[in-house]
Amino acid sequence: MKNLQVGIIGGAGYTAGELIRLLLSHPKTNINFVYSTSNAGNKLYKVHQDLIGSTEIEFTQAINADVDVLFLCLGHGNSSAFLEKNSFSSTTKIIDLSNDFRLITNKNFEGKEFVYGLPELQKEAIKTAKYIANPGCFATALQLAILPLAANGLLKNDVHINAVTGATGAGTSLSKTTHFTWRDNNFSHYKAFNHQHLGEINQTVRQLQANFNSEINFMPNRGNFSRGIFATIYTKFSGSLDDAKQIYQNYYKDAAFTFVANEPIHMKQVVNTNKCLVQLEKHGDKLLITSTIDNLLKGASGQAIQNMNLMFDFEESLGLNLKANYF
């Protein structure tokens, strides 16, 4: 099989930069074009400076409608607007990294049916999908923390979540809360109890456990670091710690990138990888689940390539065997 011809729409952001970096090293892909109206004619490395020496590809305003796979790295609400104005070959598979098509109410768009692309939830559906809605970063970390419980009908009480993300989670555009002088030596919460990723989290839980009628209480935080998500989740659980570990290990026994750790975990173990680490503790009648990912990789571009691998029947981990920036 020839290498896939890949198109990228919206090539200047953090997720696009990581996507390009990974695709350049992927043994089955060739970047056909990277579309950006604001950077057309510039070398990719003029924006993504880590790519100096890796590629001479330039941003372009020209679109090849016949690429094998198209990645949409656009701001939320912009993917649907782009697809309304631009048509692609009937054989082009599309992976969208925005939140435009993640919810069941939005999954059908102009004859395209988007499949929610969380491999640990529905790998078989992804394999046969033509259009993928890549999950959100917080949504990925938090769902992977509770999927095994929901799949076994064990979420019977409120779920309480406290999670922190790095500055790259807010994108490249500067604002008061992403400026270095504000973030440095600082910590804050935002969108308490109403973060946009709660929609897809609740949707997935009810997909696995239809009778779930409790609250998922989510407190998102801004950290003073660049990348990564670290989450702590607790809920009531009547079983033992060994019971919980068995449930999680069984659920993730065939997962390519999600691992149940026996020892306490920390974020440096996953930054620059497509891994999610999950660790369990029992405190009285509560189960504490800790989850950590790289928000730009397992939470965005890495997971998008994982989905691409599944869609084209490649090895799921192809191009994603990355070492953490541990030191």
| pLDDT computed for residue 176 by the predictor | 65
Confidence (pLDDT) at 170: 55
pLDDT digit string (tens) for 91-137? Answer: 999 999 999 999 999 999 999 999 999 999 999 999 999 999 999 99
- Rounded CA gap, 235 and 286, in Å? 5
Hey, what are 202's tokens? 């609740």
Distance between CA atoms of residues 30 and 24, nearest Å: 7
Sheet of 131-133, strand order: 59-60, 29-35, 4-9, 69-72, 93-96, 131-133, 112-116, 108-109
CA dist list (Å): 33 to 44, 86, 238? 11, 15, 53
Fold of 4-134+300-311: Rossmann fold (3.40.50)
Range(s) of the chain covered by CATH 3.40.50.720:
4-134+300-311
Condensed to tens digits (0 to 9), the pLDDT of residues 43-82 reads: 999 999 999 999 999 999 999 999 999 999 998 889 999 9
Determine the average pLDDT of the residues in 19-25.
97
Which residues are designated catalytic? 137
pLDDT at 173: 54
Residue 174: per-residue pLDDT: 55
Q: What is the pLDDT of residues 238-250, one digit of tens each?
A: 999 999 999 999 9
Encoding tokens for residue 14? 């953090």
Angle of helix 198-208 relative to helix 119-127, nearest 10 degrees? 80
- Report how far residue 199's alpha carbon sits from residue 76's, in angstroms, rounded to the nearest whole number: 14
For the stretch 268-299, pLDDT in tens is 999 999 999 999 999 999 999 999 999 999 99
Sign of the C-alpha dihedral computed for residues 235, 241, 243 and 248 taken in this order: positive
Q: Which CATH number fits domain 137-293: 3.40.50.620, 3.40.50.10540, 3.40.50.720, 3.30.360.10?
A: 3.30.360.10
pLDDT at 326 over 90: no
Average pLDDT over residues 161-175: 75
Alpha-carbon distance of 161 to 188, in angstroms, equals: 15
